[in-house]
Amino acid sequence: MSLISTKEASKKLGVSILRVQQLIWAKRLPAQRIGRDYVINESDLQLVKERKNGRPKRATGDNKINESEKPFKTIFDVVPELAGSLDSGLGDLSTNKKYLEGLGRDKNINR
């Protein structure tokens, strides 16, 4: 049974010291605390040696999420529902004569 430091473990695993500490804190790598440092049984490095590195790959192509599987709506899903389509009859309000009638007039003054 050979005990090694987190620094030695990081060199053997090819990762940073912080990553070794994270593996210890996540209980994936058994270690003993001595003072403020950890020591690791060298044979326990085999427990994490075959782990997958990095983040999982992002879904592309046929693996994209279906509309029914989306966890939430995006702004692009909501805006058309709120605003309606351009064919709703409103069009551009600045050229809508009914909208412009009476604009800027005081309603209390009869002309």
Nearest to 49 by CA among 22, 19, 14, 76: 14
Whether 16 maps to a domain, the answer reads yes
Residue 100 lies in a domain: no
CA 58, 62, 65, 67 dihedral sign is positive
Residues 72 and 45 in one domain: no
- Low-confidence stretches of the chain (pLDDT beneath 70): 59-71, 81-100, 102-111
**pLDDT 10s digits, 35-45:** 999 999 999 99
> Structural domain of residue 45, as residue ranges?
3-49
Do 41 and 12 share a structural domain?
Answer: yes
Q: Give this prediction's pTM.
A: 0.48
What pLDDT sits at residue 29?
92
For residue 9, count other CB atoms closer than 10 A to its CB. Answer: 26
- Distant-in-sequence, close-in-space partners of 38: CB < 8 Å, separation ≥ 6: 5, 6, 21, 24, 31, 32
